[in-house]
Amino acid sequence: MIDTCILIGAPVEAGTGRRGADMGARAFRCARLAETLSDLGLAVRDAGALAIGPVAPRAHPNAAIRDLAEIAAWTELIEATAYAAAGQGMPIFLGGDHSLSAGSIAGINRRAIEDGRELFVLWLDAHPDFHTLESTESGNLHGVPMAYVTGRPGFEGFFPPLAAPVKPENVCMVGLRSVDPAERAALEAGRITVHDMRAIDETGIGRLVGAFLREVEARDGILHVSFDVDFLDPEIAPGVGTTVPGGATFREAHLVMEMLHDCGRVRSLDVVELNPFLDDRGRTALLLVDLIASLMGRRILDRPTRSWS
Ligand SMILES: NC(=[NH2+])NCCC[C@H](N)C(=O)O
Ligand SMILES: [Mn+2]
Ligand SMILES: [Mn+2]
β-strands 193-196, 266-272 pairing: unpaired
Between helix 283-295 and helix 250-263 the angle, nearest 10°, is 30
Distance CA 26, CA 219 (A): 37
- Residue 210: which of 309, 132, 129, 277 has the closest Cα? 309
Q: Is the pLDDT of residue 186 over 70?
A: yes
Distance CA 209, CA 173 (A): 10
- Determine which residue's CA is closest to atom 12 belonging to ligand 1: 138
Q: Is the Cβ atom of 268 under 6 angstroms away from ligand 1?
A: no
Is residue 230 part of the annotated active site? The answer reads yes
pLDDT, tens digit, 9 for 90 and up, residues 84-140: 999 899 999 999 999 999 999 999 999 999 999 999 999 999 999 999 999 999 999
300 is a domain residue = no
Distance CA 85, CA 263 (A): 22
- CA of 175 relative to ligand 1 center, distance in Å: 14
21 is a domain residue = yes
Q: Is the pLDDT of residue 1 over 60?
A: no
Q: Is the pLDDT of residue 308 over 80?
A: no
Evaluate whether 134 touches 8 at the Cβ level (below 8 Å).
Answer: no
Indicate which residue of 230, 233, 252, 262 is catalytic: 230
- Determine which residue's CA is closest to atom 10 belonging to ligand 1: 143
Q: Alpha-carbon dihedral of residues 208, 97, 285, 87, nearest 10 degrees?
A: 70
Evaluate whether 70 touches 52 at the Cβ level (below 8 Å).
Answer: yes
Show the domain range for 79: 4-295
**Mean pLDDT within 155-180:** 98
pLDDT, tens digit, 9 for 90 and up, residues 16-57: 999 999 999 999 999 999 999 999 999 999 999 999 999 999
72 is a domain residue = yes
- CA of 231 relative to ligand 2 center, distance in Å: 8
**Mean pLDDT within 280-288:** 98
Give the burial class of 201: count Cβ atoms within 10 A of its Cβ; 0-12 exposed, 13-18 middle, 19 or more buried. exposed
45 is a domain residue = yes
Give Cα separations from 73 to 52, 63, 132 (angstroms): 7, 19, 18
Give the burial class of 1: count Cβ atoms within 10 A of its Cβ; 0-12 exposed, 13-18 middle, 19 or more buried. middle
Pocket test for ligand 1, best of 62, 183, 242, 273 (most atoms within 8 A of CB): 242
- CA of 99 relative to ligand 2 center, distance in Å: 8
Looking from the CA of 12 toward its CB, the CA atoms found within 13 Å total: 37
**Mean pLDDT within 149-173:** 98
- List helix spans (H) across the chain: 24-30, 33-39, 68-86, 100-114, 145-149, 181-189, 197-203, 205-218, 250-263, 283-295
Give Cα separations from 230 to 12, 33, 128, 248 (angstroms): 17, 19, 11, 9
pLDDT above 70 covers a percentage of the chain that reads 97
- Determine which residue's CA is closest to atom 6 belonging to ligand 1: 143
pLDDT value for 306 = 64
Is residue 228 part of the annotated active site? The answer reads yes
228 is a domain residue = yes
CATH number, domain at 24? 3.40.800.10
Indicate which residue of 13, 67, 131, 142 is catalytic: 142
309 is a domain residue = no
- Which has more confidence, 303 or 127? 127
Q: Is the pLDDT of residue 302 over 80?
A: no
Q: Alpha-carbon dihedral of residues 149, 151, 155, 157, nearest 10 degrees?
A: 100
- Which has more confidence, 303 or 97? 97
Task: State yes or no: 98 annotated in a binding site.
Answer: yes
Is residue 98 part of the annotated active site? The answer reads yes
Q: Is the pLDDT of residue 3 over 90?
A: no
- Burial pattern 144-159, b for ≥16 Cβ within 10 A else e, equals bbbbbbbebebbeebb
pLDDT, tens digit, 9 for 90 and up, residues 55-73: 999 999 999 999 999 999 9
Indicate which residue of 22, 70, 97, 129 is catalytic: 129
pLDDT value for 287 = 98
Average pLDDT, the chain: 96
Task: State yes or no: 115 annotated in a binding site.
Answer: no
- Residue 128: which of 146, 112, 110, 114 has the closest Cα? 146
pLDDT value for 303 = 64
pLDDT above 90 covers a percentage of the chain that reads 95
pLDDT value for 307 = 63
Q: What are phi and psi of 272, to 5 degrees?
A: -130, 160
Q: Is the Cβ atom of 79 under 6 angstroms away from ligand 1?
A: no
pLDDT value for 44 = 98
Cα angle 8, 14, 18; round to 5: 105
Distance CA 36, CA 42 (A): 9
307 is a domain residue = no
Q: Is the pLDDT of residue 219 over 90?
A: yes
Is residue 125 part of the annotated active site? The answer reads yes
303 is a domain residue = no
**Mean pLDDT within 200-225:** 98
Q: Is the pLDDT of residue 194 over 80?
A: yes
Q: Which ligand is nearest to the CA of 15?
A: 1
Indicate which residue of 13, 70, 127, 279 is catalytic: 127
Distance CA 196, CA 213 (A): 17
Q: Indicate the number of domains in the chain.
A: 1
Q: Which residues are CB-contacts of 237 (< 8 A; sequence separation ≥ 6)?
A: 229, 230, 247, 283, 284, 287, 288
Is residue 142 part of the annotated active site? The answer reads yes
Number of Cβ within 10 Å of residue 41's Cβ equals 9
